[in-house]
Amino acid sequence: MARPRVFVSSTYYDLKYIRASLEGFIESLGFEAILFERGNIPFHSDTPLDQSCYHEVENADIFVLIVGGRYGSPTSDSHHTTGQPLEGHLSITRREFNSAQERDIPTFILVDNAVRSEHYTYLQNKNNKDIKYAHVDNVAVFHFLDEILEKGQNNPVYNFEKVTEIESWLREQWAGLFRDLLRSKSQQQQLSALNIQIRELQLANETLKNYLEAVVRKVDPNNSDEIVKIEKQKAEENKKNLELQKNNFIIYLMEHFSLKEEDIKSLVENPSDIQELISLMNTFIDKNHSIDDFKETMLRPMPQILYNKARETLGKPLIDF
């Protein structure tokens, strides 16, 4: 059975003792630890070594990033001169992180507590170039942290001092990940069963409709076509009403302005432009509400889209806002 593959990304020399400990921890859980020093990354003779690492990140199931005091070596495609500042260049670790983010691989980020503390100092003194930081070799580390923290998702960060803290946090996080996976699988099974039930109801409804049409034609053959036509029209009308009830703009009108169903339908069907819509709305609105609220709402793109969606449901041409 294939094991979950966990890619461990960090600078090497300053964090090698943590990497070694993490490797043992990951393997003890039955997962496969992917570390370049372990030799389980296939390197290709026709490409730079770091490019093989990025490719291996894309094949990982979990990505663990450790941020310490070193920024690390520039990527092979960076135009970097030895001895020059690294702020303008991607490090290999940073590129590995970006590769994981691009593939939306579950990512877990560990930051040395001393580095995180100095990051707070850096944020207060960004414009002061004379400050010397004790725990980082380059302010590019702080730039990297800024990038991590600005992510909208998939960027859980844990500050650590001891390796045991790392293991405890990762164990808890991965247990939660596994629990979510089980719940997701259960929900998918429930949705699948519900879809089957809905399909069965649709088939039963179609069978019942055909049966009733056959009965009508037999009982009243002279008027059967007209009866069937009227019932189909009623069914289509009910379907449109249900679609309207699900439209968020219609819900907004009902809840915010307490409009009646027939008034809302008139608002959707009758106007031919925005002026007529506002004028008609003004006749329905009561003294407890302001037409200005409605005007302001209709200036926004989403209500306009939803309103035209309601008109489309009723077979009316779209209004140009």
State whether 150 and 263 are in the same domain. no
State whether 11 and 157 are in the same domain. yes
What is the Cα–Cα distance from 59 to 99, expressed in whole angstroms? 10
Residue predicted with more confidence, 206 or 50: 50
State whether 270 and 154 are in the same domain. no
- CB contact at 8 A, 248 and 234: no
- CB contact at 8 A, 142 and 148: no
What are residue 15's phi and psi, to 5 degrees? -125, 15
State whether 254 and 130 are in the same domain. no
Given 131, 161, 191, which residue is the final one in a domain?
Answer: 161
Contacts of 10 by beta carbon, 8 Å cutoff, 6+ apart: 18, 19, 65, 66, 67, 68, 93
The pLDDT confidence band at residue 148, using thresholds 50, 70 and 90, is very high
- CB contact at 8 A, 67 and 113: no
**Using the 8-state DSSP alphabet, how is residue 43 labeled?**
-
| Residue 11 C-alpha from the chain's centroid | 30
pLDDT for 85 = 46
**What is the pTM (predicted TM-score) of this model?**
0.58
State whether 129 and 269 are in the same domain. no
Given 161, 176, 203, which residue is the final one in a domain?
Answer: 161
Outline where DSSP puts E strands in 117-231.
Answer: 157-160
pLDDT for 29 = 92
**Which residue reads 């140009």 in tokens?**
320
- Would residue 221 count as lying in a domain? no
At CA 250, angle to CA 247 and CA 254, rounded to 5? 140
pLDDT one-digit tens code per residue, 240-288: 777 877 888 888 888 888 888 888 888 888 998 989 988 998 888 877 7
State whether 102 and 10 are in the same domain. yes
What is the Cα–Cα distance from 83 to 33, expressed in whole angstroms? 33
Of 84-88, 112-116, 304-308, which has the strongest mean pLDDT? 112-116
Kindly tell me if the per-residue pLDDT of 80 is higher than 70: no
- Would residue 184 count as lying in a domain? no
- Mean pLDDT over all residues of the chain? 83
- Would residue 32 count as lying in a domain? yes
Sheet strand arrangement including 62-67: 32-34, 5-9, 62-67, 107-112, 157-160
Kindly tell me if the per-residue pLDDT of 42 is higher than 70: no
- CB contact at 8 A, 33 and 26: yes
pLDDT one-digit tens code per residue, 135-145: 888 889 999 99
Q: Domain containing 128: what range?
A: 5-161
- CB contact at 8 A, 23 and 35: yes
pLDDT for 98 = 93
pLDDT for 24 = 94
Terminal CA-CA length for the chain: 58
Out of 18-27, 62-71, 127-136, pick the least confident: 127-136
If one counts the domains in the chain, the total is 2
The pLDDT confidence band at residue 79, using thresholds 50, 70 and 90, is low
- Would residue 209 count as lying in a domain? no
